[in-house]
Structure 1
Amino acid sequence: MQLTLLCAAVCLLPSSLALPLPREAGGMSKPQWEQAQDYLKRFYSYDSQTKIANSLEAKLKEMEKFFGLPITGVLSPRIIEIMQKPRCGVPDIAEYSLFPENPKWTSKIVTYRIVSYTRDLSSFAVNRLVEKALNMWSKEIPLRFKKLRWGIADIMIGFARGAHGDPYPFDGPGNTLAHAFAPGPGLGGDAHFDEDERWTDGSSIGINFLYAATHELGHSLGMGHSTDPNAVMYPVYGSGDLQNFKLSRDDIEGIQKLYGKRNH
């Protein structure tokens, strides 16, 4: 009887003791560390099979480098603050399967189609803002955009909730706002926006759709994320003037590196 009770007590012991968090957790709480792990795996993944490249410490260092922070490999309140900001769902550092080396459209005319709309804005407003976002890019490069009303376009644009037909389901209000895929067949070029967000044309509180669309359509043209906080292609939403924003020098140089300069 005593042996049975002892065994029961020993068997229960591991589940009642909390394992200490690793050094990289930086003294943060367990929920914060778990959220940080999820964030790092989503936005700083590797194809490499080596444990070093895939370690959380290495991913933390990559994130610190990207955002211009001291490189420690240890979680900090500043990193937590960045992780909690709304952002684009495209990874910052990744061997992304749909992003081969410097992908771009080879045709001088790229087609697009808006396949679904948000309840927050009129279809007229969405059409106008998408056109304005595309024009921001096209005025810098020798590329024109043509809107299709039906059929398959190079860039398919739409709003969706949760799982929506690609490997990257949306996560509800906040956090990931949208994502887009680099030029290519199938999903290539497509831009998806989370309908669980509150989208606005700038006249009310919410996520500025023009800003988000310009960013995502940059990905649709082949642009990656920028480390410049003033760039439209910076991954975190709302770093600059959302009412009067324009492409930064970094954005313009990046898109012209892909397509060349437009002859005005």
Structure 2
Amino acid sequence: MKDTAVLVLALTACLSLCSGAPAMSKDDQKKAEEYLKEFYSDSSASSIHMSQVNMQDFETTLKKMQEFFGLQVTGKLDTDTIEVMKKPRCGVSDVSNYGHFYGKPRWHKQTITYRITEYTPDLSQREVDDTIAQAFKLYSDVTPLDFKQIYSGTADIMILFKARNHGDFHPFDGPGKVLAHAMSPGANEGGDTHFDEDEKWTLSSAGINLLLVAAHEFGHALGLDHSQDSSALMYPTYKYVNTQGYQLPLDDKQGIQALYGCTCPQPTSQPQPNPPEPCNRDLVFDAATNIKNELYFFKNDYYWKKNSLMKDIPQTLIRSTWPSITSVDAAYNLKGKGISYFFKGQDYWGVTATSVLPGYPKQISQFGFPASVMKIDAAVHVESTRRTLFFTGDKFWSFDELSGEMDAGFPKSIKTDFPGIGSKVDAAFENYGFLYFSDGARQTEYKYSYRSVNRVLLNYGWLDCY
């Protein structure tokens, strides 16, 4: 028998009960037997049946369950006990506050890889990637652990979404019951995590919130058992809480740090780089983009933010807003999603106007670039076509944001397809229906639908230096 334990997160149908009923029905008794046998009793225990022969075993197990959930410990079925049994739950018991599996299995390395082999159609692939990364980040924020997503081969933690039989001898049972399960740390299947595709996966309070379930299951995959603390993430029953700014509750934090230790980085002073001169006629932008109707211009370690409602144009260190990013080669914004992407070398980050999204950096090869592309010179999203244009050297690529794939026939020549802008692009952005392409200090205002130049500018003009 494998040392790793399969952990099942189960959601039973929520049925109303008649309060104050003097006795439980045969159906309630049967459901209680099934609950204690499948989700509560020790795997080594014999089958539990409501019979005169082993009523004592049933009552003993029921008392443990009642004690665990803080119910009145009677060993008898009552409405409160039945109601708890019908709540969403995950079935490992007999723990006090945070718990670890027997023998305290853990990963004996700092970097743990994971791979998602099958996705749910309920969310986009990017949404799943970001949410899974966010769930892992809850643990890397408070321990020395580092989680890295890989896209081929065997990872430490293999993740999939699939219904019914899915190859691990623990088939899912359709919508509304088992949500997911995971293995405790170990070799081979250890840590592997599976989500029931028959559930409706969401990022909100509707359906089943992926972040909360994933974070709970990854707790098991890292070695955490269940907790009796009802405010803990590792409490057996599933319930939705607001995930905006969600962090590990104290009980879970203490549990995971007992296994892996605490990361307490000390702030270090860094020398401030010399800021670039904005009112220099020879100013060359590294990158530019539009975020929430504000223009961002990047140069070396700094960026300028231009807002039509503000008189001044502040100059800010990039790392003071996005700590893991020191400079930017290219940037573009997806207005409809409220996400921007920054590129540096062969890495890229998903960001908002104030923070880096979890799970980054990632490799630009995910966009379909060949290994020969070492960096992106410029990028701009064209809202009317839902394409993102990437510029590298004297060529450009067209990426379909809807399909998540590069368009066929690329790369193409910049000079041929964009007459008048030159043969290379250092920075690009969209503003009020025009595309702006910078080549050195010179900038071309371009009408994309007509493939025509509207006027020629200098970069520094955007910084109110006339």
Taking structure 2 as the reference length, what is the TM-score of the superposition? 0.47
Higher helix proportion: 1
The match for 1:171 is 173
Check the 8 A contact 2:212/2:240 in 1, yes or no: no
The match for 1:210 is 211
Q: Give SS of 2:81's match.
A: helix
Which amino acid in the other structure matches residue 260 of structure 2?
Y
Within 5 A, what are the aligned runs for 1:169-208? 169-202=171-204, 205-208=206-209
Distance 2:81 2:74 in 1: 11
Determine if the alignment matches structure 1 residue 257 to structure 2 residue 253: no
Check the 8 A contact 2:209/2:240 in 1, yes or no: no
Moved runs in structure 1, 4+ residues, more than 3 A? 48-52, 239-245
Structure 1 residue 175: deviation in Å?
Answer: 2.6
Q: 1:218 to 1:40 in 2, by over 3 A?
A: same
Q: Give SS of 2:167's match.
A: coil
Distance 2:94 2:190 in 1: 19
Distance 2:46 2:38 in 1: 16
The match for 1:235 is 236
Check the 8 A contact 1:43/1:93 in 2, yes or no: no
Structure 1 residue 141: deviation in Å?
Answer: 0.6
What per-residue deviation string (whole Å, max 9, x for no partner) do you get for residues 185-231 of structure 1?
Answer: 222101111111111011x6211101111111011100011111111
What per-residue deviation string (whole Å, max 9, x for no partner) do you get for residues 32-79 of structure 1?
Answer: 211111111122222257998x92212211111111112111112112
User: Which structure has the higher relative contact order (CA within 8 Å, separation 6+)?
Assistant: 1
Distance 1:66 1:130 in 2: 30
> Equivalent pairs: percent with the same residue?
47
Within 5 A, what are the aligned runs for 1:100-249? 100-202=102-204, 205-238=206-239, 240-249=241-250
Distance 1:141 1:175 in 2: 32
**Which has the higher Rg, Structure 1 or Structure 2?**
2
Structure 1 residue 31: deviation in Å?
Answer: 1.6
Check the 8 A contact 1:42/1:91 in 2, yes or no: no
Distance 2:244 2:199 in 1: 18
Q: 1:156 to 1:249 in 2, by over 3 A?
A: same
Structure 1 residue 247: deviation in Å?
Answer: 1.1
Distance 1:37 1:192 in 2: 26
Which amino acid in the other structure matches residue 43 of structure 1?
F
Which amino acid in the other structure matches residue 34 of structure 2?
D
What per-residue deviation string (whole Å, max 9, x for no partner) do you get for residues 5-51 of structure 1?
Answer: xxxxxxxxxxxxxxxxxxxxx83111221111111112222225799
Within 5 A, what are the aligned runs for 1:15-54? 27-46=23-42, 47=44
What per-residue deviation string (whole Å, max 9, x for no partner) do you get for residues 100-142 of structure 1?
Answer: 4111000111111111111111111000000000001111111
Where structure 1 has 5 or more consecutive residues not aligned to the other structure, the ranges are: 1-25
Distance 1:244 1:74 in 2: 41
The match for 1:68 is 70
Distance 1:146 1:245 in 2: 21
Distance 2:197 2:87 in 1: 18
Which amino acid in the other structure matches residue 228 of structure 1?
D
The match for 1:17 is none
Q: 1:81 to 1:198 in 2, by over 3 A?
A: same
Structure 1 residue 244: deviation in Å?
Answer: 4.9
Q: How many residues are aligned here?
A: 233
* Superposition RMSD in Å: 2.3
The match for 1:11 is none
Q: 1:78 to 1:241 in 2, by over 3 A?
A: farther
Check the 8 A contact 2:37/2:47 in 1, yes or no: no
